[in-house]
Chain A
Amino acid sequence: TQLLEQSPQFLSIQEGENLTVYCNSSSVFSSLQWYRQEPGEGPVLLVTVVTGGEVKKLKRLTFQFGDARKDSSLHITAAQPGDTGLYLCAVTNFGNEKLTFGTGTRLTIIP
């Protein structure tokens, strides 16, 4: 079982600031996904990255997949209170549908 470490574990910042969270492993993935989960709800998919070095943007969110496909980052510009939640990265292995989730980053944006 591969371990997906996310950092930081907790992050609390003021509205309008920028932030980056990370997802790291020693293993290579076939694809990596980022999810946001709010309390009492299931996770919601934000993005899937499959190509090493790939960068995807979703409004104020920028996702990057590492060149070696072992790590990823999520950057949020001008954070808003609505960005508050648990951010989870998750990976699949080649030919396997099973998702392995990272340890999670709990983000709080202070108005």
Chain B
Amino acid sequence: GAVVSQHPSWVICKSGTSVKIECRSLDFQATTMFWYRQFPKQSLMLMATSNEGSKATYEQGVEKDKFLINHASLTLSTLTVTSAHPEDSSFYICSAPSLARFTDTQYFGPGTRLTVL
């Protein structure tokens, strides 16, 4: 099956700094990727849709200036958490949909645990 990787798997940073998280599709191309956030003991919440060659689209309530998304190539999307604060501490997960027809399959990355001190 298709593989999606994330880097780093975990990161600890100081309040006020910026953190970049990478999402890569390793053996397939993804014109679209999705970024989710998951707080402890909660479900996944979609933050934004990353589009190769165009601007990302953000879900209601997600600050686009705080969570910068860049879809640099057909295999790479990055999420930068700018001026991170403790409330941004969360598990960030990306996914990429299969390009196969008649399928809604999405492939999820292993997640990145962000802790802001």
Contact = CB atoms under 8 A, between A and B. Distances in A.
Interface of A: 1, 30-31, 33, 40-45, 48, 50, 88, 92, 97-104, 106
Contacts of B109: 42
Q: Which 10 interchain pairs have the tightest Cβ spacing?
A: A42-B108, A104-B43, A101-B44, A101-B43, A31-B104, A97-B97, A42-B110, A42-B111, A92-B104, A42-B93
A98 B104 contact: no
Contacts of A106: 41
A40 B111 contact: yes
B113 interface: yes
Contacts of A31: 104
Nearest to A88: B43
Interface of B: 4, 32, 34, 36, 41-46, 49, 60, 91, 93, 95, 97, 103-106, 108-111, 113
Contacts of A50: 104
A100 B46 CA distance: 7
Nearest to A1: B60
Contacts of B91: 40
A72 B46 CA distance: 21
Given A48-B104, A48-B105, A98 B111 contact: no
Given A42-B111, A88-B44, A92-B104, 16 more contacts: A30-B104, A40-B113, A41-B110, A41-B111, A42-B4, A42-B93, A43-B93, A45-B106, A48-B103, A48-B105, A97-B34, A98-B46, A100-B46, A102-B43, A104-B42, A104-B43
